[in-house]
Structure 1
Amino acid sequence: MSLDPQKFRSILSHYPTGVCVITAMTARGEAIGMTVGTFTSVSLDPLLIGFFPDRKSTSWSEIAAAGRFCVNILANDQEWLCRKFATRERDKFAEVVHRLSENGQPILDGAVAWIDCSLYAVHEAGDHYLVLGQVEAMALASERVASPLIFFQGKFGQVASIETPLA
């Protein structure tokens, strides 16, 4: 049986994913970043997160070389940041307000939360890498209650609040 990658993509589009921007500082002291839609928690002991950058990504190769990065969980009103960091533009930080974490990694203003990590492991996974990061620091980025930006069926959206608790 032949499996069609487009059908695979279409079927998986029925499962929503959160949108994050992975940021880092290069050895040259330049802020770099990339958008990912495949981010997850992995382990509580040690605290590990994971994401899957494309093997052709030039941004990922620079982030990997830095050995440290920050996961910025985007808010539902930050689609423009998602799109900006998904381009091949060299200076993705032009007009992007950010500050540096205690470990020197860029934190994007307005993100729901940030997670500062050191590179724990990288594994080949088809046309992507599985990247594991060990959490060094983390915080909700602000006191505002924000819905995260999600991607579902080829469109951006937000999480609707649940009025009744699950049984």
Structure 2
Amino acid sequence: MSAGSGAPPALDPRSLRYAYSMFPSGVTAVCAIVDGAPVGVAASSFTSVSLDPPLVSVCMAHTSTTWPTLRSAPRIGVSVLGGHHGGVARQLAARGTDRFADVTYEVIDGAIVLPDAAMSAVCSLEHEFTAGDHVIAVLRVHTVDPHPEVKPIVFHASEFRELAG
């Protein structure tokens, strides 16, 4: 449908997913060690929530089979992926694969962070809120490690893209 056609866009899940994808967002790796194994997922719904106390949030679909395991970790790492992390983003978003094959990561207090990320944080689950077909997970930030020299990857129009310039 083109702009100016007069008809409002449909509100079915497929149309909404497409429409929402027009808003470019950063991509994060949300990961931890659970029962001795790395567990993680890619999330593009990351946002800062509060400076005092330090809080961030991510949204997880109710259909996620990873979040129920990951949420039990005492510490969860959140890494803002860089432009060079396209493959890592795809691996962490895939189902039925080894999401950590050939991925370099560090473990800090049980949280997994990527050492070459634009920013990484060690967090713990503070609150969860049900919101439609997702859970909004509010995480308390315990440590942060920013790297402004790393250009972040963005998710736009259902594709991972690098920033120019």
TM-score bucket (shorter structure): 0.7 to 0.9
Structure 2, unmatched stretches of 5+, are 1-7
Secondary structure, aligned partner of 2:61: coil
Q: Is the 8 A contact 1:18 1:151 kept in 2?
A: yes
Which of the numbers 107, 115, 123 marks the counterpart of 1:109? 115
Which of the numbers 67, 70, 73 marks the counterpart of 2:77? 70
How far apart are residue 10 of structure 1 and its match? 2.4
How far apart are residue 53 of structure 1 and its match? 0.9
Q: Do structure 1's residue 11 and structure 2's residue 11 form an aligned pair?
A: no
Q: Do structure 1's residue 54 and structure 2's residue 61 form an aligned pair?
A: yes
Mean CA deviation greater in 60-69 or 126-135: 60-69
Secondary structure, aligned partner of 2:77: strand
Rounded to whole Å, the distance in 2 between the matches of 1:119 and 1:10 is 30
Q: Do structure 1's residue 39 and structure 2's residue 46 form an aligned pair?
A: yes
Secondary structure, aligned partner of 2:72: helix
**Number of residue-to-residue matches in the alignment:** 157
Secondary structure, aligned partner of 1:77: helix
Cα RMSD over matched residues? 1.8
Identity %: 31
Rounded to whole Å, the distance in 1 between the matches of 2:56 and 2:126 is 9
Corresponding residue number in structure 2 for 1:124: 130
Corresponding residue number in structure 2 for 1:164: none
Normalised to the residue count of structure 2, the TM-score between the two structures is 0.87
1:96 alignment partner AA: V
Which of the numbers 118, 123, 134 marks the counterpart of 2:140? 134
How far apart are residue 90 of structure 1 and its match? 5.4
Evaluate the alpha carbon distance shift between residue 138 and residue 60 of structure 1 in structure 2; reply closer, same or farther with a 3 A threshold.
Answer: same
**4+ runs of 1 displaced by more than 6 Å?**
none
Structure 1, unmatched stretches of 5+, are 162-167
